[in-house]
């Protein structure tokens, strides 16, 4: 009879964060876009092949990163727990989502707000904006 394997460190980190967030495994899995069974396999580190026979489950880096994001585990926590690959993927996902959020906010600006933002950016970059004609077109110079 085989003993049930211990959860891997990254599985423990995700499970602890999930409980701290007050989420059930079912809800956390739904938010990550995976089944509850798969969630439990990855956090537990194994799947049952037959009675008393267990196969190791590691989970792809992208899936572990999504799971970590759902419960608030940081890239550094994943690295420390032995999943540097998932930590790197989570950092990439976070950068993409921050960039997308910023673009959404810029798209929501009205014309005068967008001009003000452009002027502020130009000023910070040391670019001089000057009116070139009565139609309000601008020329840019350094």
CATH number for the domain that contains residue 45? 1.10.260
**Helix, strand or coil, per DSSP, at residue 54:** strand
Residue length of the chain: 142
Determine if the pTM surpasses 0.85: no
* 17 found inside a domain: yes
| Together in a domain, 89 and 126 | no
Closest-CA residue to 130 (of 122, 110, 112): 122
Q: What mean pLDDT comes out for the span 45-68? A: 95
d(CA 51, CA 40): 17
Q: How confident is the model at residue 15 (pLDDT cuts 50, 70, 90)?
A: very high
Closest-CA residue to 86 (of 9, 3, 19, 31): 9
Q: Domain containing 142: what range?
A: 110-142
Does an H or E element contain 3, and which? none
> CA geometry: angle at 38 spanning 45 and 75, to 5°?
65
| Together in a domain, 72 and 86 | yes
| Together in a domain, 30 and 62 | yes
Is pLDDT of 130 > 80? no
């Amino acid at each position: 009879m085989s003993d049930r394997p211990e959860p891997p460190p990254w599985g423990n980190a995700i499970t602890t964060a999930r409980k701290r967030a007050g989420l059930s495994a079912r809800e956390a899995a739904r938010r990550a876009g995976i089944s509850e069974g798969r969630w439990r396999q990855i956090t537990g580190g194994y799947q049952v092949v037959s009675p008393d026979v267990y196969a190791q489950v590691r989970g792809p880096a992208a899936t572990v990163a999504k799971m970590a994001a759902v419960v608030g585990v940081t890239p550094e926590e994943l690295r420390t727990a032995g999943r540097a690959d998932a930590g790197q993927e989570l950092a990439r996902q976070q950068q993409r989502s921050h960039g997308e959020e910023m673009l959404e906010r810029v798209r929501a600006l009205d014309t005068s707000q967008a001009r003000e933002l452009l002027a502020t950016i130009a000023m910070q970059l040391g670019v001089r904006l000057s009116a070139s004609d009565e139609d309000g077109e601008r020329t840019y110079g350094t």
